[in-house]
């Protein structure tokens, strides 16, 4: 459903390739003046206002979890104000809340250091090792949660208040990647023409960018991250735990879509997103809009 329309639109709405001119050896180097991203700075500053109080008052160990609650509410408010357009934001609110629940469990890792003080040396080493691993996972997931917010939330503010004209200004000043600009053009065209499937396709492009370009390098790649996600995925494949769909009432999990898959692998995770999560979210949101609003208002 998404793939065919996406391919057609990518061909018809494809953005021109911007290639910097090659500098000739016959001409001296020119001074290049880099302009500040005026349009983007306005929206990122507005997005940061949500975080100012939490970041100023939270204890270091509690910052990521407190920030998560602010992010959940921010996404929920975006969707509730514009449910016909901001499909990604609604799903992101549920996904971020699910992440927060896991972070609450991981935050308890420090409590393991207390019994370690009176345990045998072998038991103390094991408890301290587990506590350190939980701390690492907590901080890693918290960074991923913030990275997505920092990259995509302000774009929703810009479109909400400035429409496609603002997104075009952001693109022209170099603050919006071509694939993101394409996504917002699709969303806007869908809204202007009443094409709901086009709106969903544009939101799916936002999700794809988020998963591949933002969260993959922050949360899943790297020498420390990759072994952890292999272990998490193996436990999930064996026991059916740890990895669940963010869509309310959705029973199909990652292993049902990608048997033997690794959540840390982008291709495996995207298969789950595009084949199960987005269709399930579209179905749930369409069939139970009142329930969606009720749940998101609790954030």
Per-residue pLDDT of the chain (299 residues; tens, 9 = 90+): 444 444 444 444 444 433 333 343 444 455 544 456 788 999 999 999 999 999 999 887 789 899 999 999 999 999 999 999 999 999 999 999 998 888 787 776 554 444 433 344 544 454 444 455 566 677 788 889 999 999 999 999 999 999 999 999 999 999 999 999 999 999 999 999 999 999 999 999 999 999 999 999 998 888 777 777 787 787 777 766 667 899 999 988 888 898 988 888 999 999 999 999 999 999 999 999 999 999 999 99
User: How many distinct structural domains can be found in the chain?
Assistant: 1
The long-range contacts involving 220-223, CB below 8 angstroms and separated by at least 24 positions, are 220/263, 220/264, 220/265, 220/266, 220/269, 221/264
Evaluate whether residue 95 is within a structural domain.
Answer: yes
With respect to residue 20, please indicate whether it lies within any of the assigned structural domains. Answer: no
Residue 53 included in any domain: no
- Provide the 10 A C-beta neighbour count for residue 19: 6
The pLDDT score that the predictor gives to residue 137 is: 74
Range of the domain at 292: 59-297
Res 30: pLDDT: 55
**35 φ/ψ angles, rounded to the nearest 5 degrees:** -85, 145
What DSSP state is assigned to residue 46? H
Burial 94-113 (b: 16+ CB within 10 A, else e): bbbbbbbebbeebbebeebe
Q: What pLDDT, on a 0 to 100 scale, did the predictor assign at position 79?
A: 98
Supply the pLDDT for residue 7: 45
| Longest CA span, the chain | 75
- d(C-alpha 45, C-alpha 40), whole Å: 8
What is the separation of C-alpha 69 from the centre of its chain, rounded to a whole number of angstroms? 15
- 222 assigned to some structural domain: yes
pLDDT, residue 139, reads: 79
Q: Where are the beta strands (DSSP E) in 208-284?
A: none
Total residues belonging to the chain = 299
Give the pLDDT of residue 117.
39
């Amino acid at each position: 459903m998404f793939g065919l329309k996406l391919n057609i639109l990518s061909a018809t709405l494809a953005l021109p390739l911007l290639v910097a001119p090659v500098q000739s050896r016959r001409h001296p180097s020119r001074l290049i003046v880099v302009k500040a991203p005026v349009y983007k700075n306005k929206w990122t500053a507005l997005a940061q206002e949500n975080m100012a109080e939490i970041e100023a008052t939270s204890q270091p160990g509690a910052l990521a979890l407190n920030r998560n609650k602010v992010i959940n509410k921010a996404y929920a408010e975006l969707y509730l104000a514009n449910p016909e357009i901001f499909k990604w934001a609604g799903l992101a609110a549920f996904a971020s809340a699910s992440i927060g629940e896991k972070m609450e469990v991981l935050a308890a890792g420090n409590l393991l250091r207390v019994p370690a003080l009176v345990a045998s040396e072998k038991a103390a080493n094991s408890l301290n090792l587990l506590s350190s691993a939980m701390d690492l996972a907590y901080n890693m997931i918290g960074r991923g949660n913030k990275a997505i917010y920092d990259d995509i939330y302000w774009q929703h503010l810009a479109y909400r208040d400035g429409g496609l004209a603002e997104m075009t200004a952001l693109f022209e000043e170099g603050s919006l990647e071509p694939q993101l600009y394409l996504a917002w053009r699709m969303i806007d065209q869908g809204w202007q023409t009443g094409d709901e499937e086009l709106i969903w396709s544009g939101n799916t492009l936002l999700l794809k960018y988020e998963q591949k370009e933002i969260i993959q390098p922050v949360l899943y790649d790297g020498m420390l991250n990759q072994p952890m996600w292999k272990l998490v995925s193996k436990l999930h494949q064996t026991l059916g735990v740890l990895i669940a769909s963010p869509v309310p009432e959705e029973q199909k999990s990652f292993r049902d879509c990608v048997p033997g898959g690794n959540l840390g692998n982008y291709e495996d995770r995207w298969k789950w997103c595009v084949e199960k999560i987005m269709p399930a979210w579209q179905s749930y949101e369409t069939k139970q809009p009142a329930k969606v609003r009720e749940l998101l208002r609790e954030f």
